[in-house]
Amino acid sequence: MTNKVTNILLVGVGGQGTLLASEVLSEVLMMAGYDVKKAEVHGMAQRGGSVVSHVRFGEKVYSEIIPEGEADILFGFELLESYRYLPLLRKEGRAIVNDLKILPPAVALGQESYPKDIPEKIMRAFPKSNVVQGLALALKSGNARTVNTVLLGALSNSLDIKEDMWKEAIRKLVPERFVNENLQAFELGRTA
């Protein structure tokens, strides 16, 4: 019996909407008939802290956290955080990352420096990766805060799930007054 489990690691900075994106992703996967597990760390005043969410799906999933070095997709909302978790990607894996810098405190204070050329470093190590201009696309949808949905759109190209199902999950989980702009953001993301 082959029980292939696919592993998606979502990383970002507290407040970016990483967790909502992982909710939508898990919902879609359940609707598509997979066994799904999702793990995250939150609870402390994590605003501005590093946020990680594991989503695993397949016929049957045991561990809810992704085994070390076995992520198939690194789904990053911020460049440094994407770069930080790169060692968790498997050799043939790919990163789908937002081209956005949020400075950590020590960098904002001028004590440490932000690593240079992260997109190039990611592309060199994992050539199948995709760097998305998330904020620019989100602004096109009319709301800068839909970046996470734009990114979901970009991710959706890598998963074999019908577009309608994604949209249904967005309608279900996004607050009603933001649904339309999020649907538009999702479509923009699919072109990225």
Residue ranges binding another protein (CB under 8 A): 13-14, 26-27, 30, 35-50, 61-65, 67-70, 80-81, 83-84, 86-91, 93, 103-110, 112-115, 125-126
Q: How far apart are CA 56 and CA 39, in angstroms?
A: 9
Nearest to 84 by CA among 51, 48, 109: 51
**From the CB of 44, what's the least distance to another protein, in Å?**
4
DSSP designation for 25? H
Nearest CB to another protein, comparing residues 58 and 180 = 58
Nearest CB to another protein, comparing residues 81 and 187 = 81
**From the CB of 35, what's the least distance to another protein, in Å?**
6
Q: What tokens were used for 167?
A: 């949209």
The H or E element spanning position 58 is strand 50-58
**From the CB of 93, what's the least distance to another protein, in Å?**
7
Q: How far apart are CA 177 and CA 181, in angstroms?
A: 9
Nearest CB to another protein, comparing residues 67 and 142 = 67
